[in-house]
Amino acid sequence: ERDRVEAEAAAAAKRREETLRREAQIATRRAEVECELNEAVMSADEEVIKRCLASAQRVGASKESVASAKAALKQISASKAAEEKNSREVEVAEQAAGELNEVLAAGATRSKLKAAIR
């Protein structure tokens, strides 16, 4: 009877130690992923941030780290959209200037200038 009680106590202690070890491993991995995520946000590389964000969400990283990464992704996206808009505007302006130069080079009359402006 005594041996059985001691064996059960030893098994319970072993289970507690294993649980503590697993929890420590999980906490370590969570900290590593949060660190990687913070580094990705600082690098401002969209693909790296997305990959690290997915890992962070899987391991249950802190809400602050995840929110920071999501905000960085939004900022990168907005910046790209602004660059694309600016690029399109420059392209349209260059095209209009080229058309106007063609009209002026061809001996512009008042009606041709009005048509080019439209």
Each residue's pLDDT tens digit, 26-70? 999 999 999 999 999 998 889 999 999 999 998 988 898 899 999
Report the C-alpha gap between 114 and 2 in whole angstroms.
Answer: 107
Q: Phi and psi at residue 117, in whole multiples of 5°?
A: -70, -35
What is the value of pTM for the model shown? 0.61
pLDDT tens digits for range 20-38: 999 999 999 999 999 999 9
Which residues have CB under 8 Å from 54's CB, separation 6+?
none
